[in-house]
Amino acid sequence: MNAAEKPLSLSPAPLIDVEELEVRYGTRAALRGLSFTVKAGEVVGLLGPNGAGKTTTFSVLATLRKPDAGRVTVAGLSVADAPKQVRRMLGVVPQSLALYPTFSARENVVLFARLAGLRGRAVHVAATAALQLVGLEDRADDRVGSFSGGMQHRLNLACGILHAPRVVLLDEPTVGVDPQSRERIGEAVRDQARRGAAVLYSTHDLDEAERVCDRVVLIDEGHVVSDGTPEELIRRSGGVLRLEVVTRAPLPVGWFEGVDGVVPIHAAAVAPLLSRGPTVHVGLTDLSSASRVLERATACGGGVLEFHVHQPSLQDVFMALTGRALRD
């Protein structure tokens, strides 16, 4: 049994413990009292808009940056005081690809296995297992530069987790990844949690976060705005149905006023799914209100081209909490 296959003992204490973390870039505060934990066997999603402090948080956890204030421990070890020991427990999958494009997939995983501290036969066992885990065993000897983006991201993940680390840090590992690869990556992440690793997962894909993460930490402007399971967050934010309407012509201001069951939401913060025409979003207290809204839109001369009804999501939760969209 290699290191990747060995289950970790589940510890009640969190493997990642961030308390009142503060990081400043000059005079600008990137993190202001950020606090959260990740336990063994848990996948925690770190969600927030650009500039919220996700990458800075990952940098501190990965020992690439020292905190200005606060306490950050990994498996009980302070990242500031014992960075080398912390690094031995980390598996980092950075936001962008971190691979040698002129090397083959096998050469990459073997290299990172050695650099992670594996030696001898364990290197090749772990490398083979990692390649199998991300479904690249058939392309093991091909140059990474010839891989598709999805394959490269899968390999990127494999290189970060092949040594079965106790803590896995994934910084948006599925950006630009095809659905098939995204699915594989999601499965691989869940596998890490199943073997007992604490996984901190940053993503912009809210569906993915809801699907992969056990718990979500929403951050904005360097601090946590909410923390819990996706269901808890949605429930806690009192989320409503969202109606997305695409029209031929722009609708006038206040076009839905007086329609029963309609709740205004921050429509500008929601990116349109399609761009066939002007798009508006309104909140609905119940599904039956949708027909009334569509009738009003038609009456106002918009010419409805299409509409979608969305269940309340983390996007809505974040918008409800901050008034801004996660993708801002």
Partner 1 sequence: MSSLLTLIGKDLRLLGRDRAALVFILLAPLIVICVAGLSLANLYGADPTGQTAYDLPLFDEDGSRLSQEIRERLAQEPAVRLRDVGSRAEAQELVRDKQAGSALIIPRGTAAALTAGAGAKIILFNDPVKYLERINLRTRILELRDAISTEQGAAVRQGAAAERAKAEEKIAAFKAVVVNQRAKLEAAWSEARRIRAAVLEAARRDAVQARGEATRVIKNEWQQHSARVQKDVQSQVEQLRQEFRAYVEALATARQGFEAWLEDLKTRAGSHASDIPPPPSFPELPVSLKQIVDGSRAPVELRLPEVELALPTPRMPDLPALPDLPEIELPEIVLPPLPPAPSSLEIEVVSLAGVPTYINTFDQNVPGFAVTFLMLGMLLGISLGLLDEREWGTMQRVRALPVGPSQFLLAKLLTRFLVGVGQMIVLLTIGWLAFGVSLGPQPVALLLPIVGIAYAGTAFGLIVAAVATSREAVFSVGSVVMVTMSAVGGCWWPIDLEPRWMRSVALAFPTTWAMDAFNDLMIRRRTIDAAYLPTAVMLAYGSLYLLIGLMIFRRRAEG
Binding site for partner 1 (CB under 8 A): 62-64, 83-84, 87-88, 90, 92, 94, 96-103, 107, 111-112, 114-117, 119, 159-160
Compute the least distance from the CB of residue 36 to partner 1, in Å. 19
Report CA-CA distances (Å) from 109 to 133, 169, 176, 291: 12, 17, 21, 55
Q: How far is CA 271 from the centre of its chain?
A: 18
Nearer to partner 1, 117 or 238 (CB): 117
Nearest Cα to Cα of residue 161 among 209, 199, 135: 199
3-state DSSP call for residue 303?
A: coil
Compute the least distance from the CB of residue 158 to partner 1, in Å. 12
In angstroms, rounded to a whole number, what is the distance separating the alpha carbons of residues 102 and 145?
6
Compute the least distance from the CB of residue 30 to partner 1, in Å. 14
Nearer to partner 1, 100 or 307 (CB): 100
Q: How far is CA 77 from the centre of its chain?
A: 25
Place of tokens 């996007």: 315
Compute the least distance from the CB of residue 134 to partner 1, in Å. 16
Nearer to partner 1, 115 or 287 (CB): 115
Nearer to partner 1, 118 or 280 (CB): 118
Nearer to partner 1, 142 or 210 (CB): 142
Nearer to partner 1, 104 or 322 (CB): 104
Compute the least distance from the CB of residue 98 to partner 1, in Å. 3
In angstroms, rounded to a whole number, what is the distance separating the alpha carbons of residues 86 and 72?
11
Nearer to partner 1, 59 or 237 (CB): 59
Compute the least distance from the CB of residue 284 to partner 1, in Å. 43
Nearer to partner 1, 173 or 186 (CB): 173
Helical spans, DSSP H, in the chain: 54-61, 83-89, 105-115, 121-133, 149-161, 179-194, 206-212, 230-237, 289-299, 314-322
Nearest Cα to Cα of residue 110 among 94, 85, 130: 130
3-state DSSP call for residue 198?
A: strand
Element (DSSP H or E) covering residue 31: strand 28-38
3-state DSSP call for residue 219?
A: strand
Query: Do 170 and 199 meet the contact criterion of CB atoms below 8 Å apart?
Result: yes
What is the residue type of 89? M
Compute the least distance from the CB of residue 327 to partner 1, in Å. 22
Provide CB contacts within 8 A for 24, sequence distance 6+. 30, 68
Query: Do 193 and 170 meet the contact criterion of CB atoms below 8 Å apart?
Result: no
Compute the least distance from the CB of residue 208 to partner 1, in Å. 21
Phi, psi of 75 (to 5 degrees): 55, 40
Compute the least distance from the CB of residue 144 to partner 1, in Å. 10
Nearer to partner 1, 18 or 262 (CB): 18
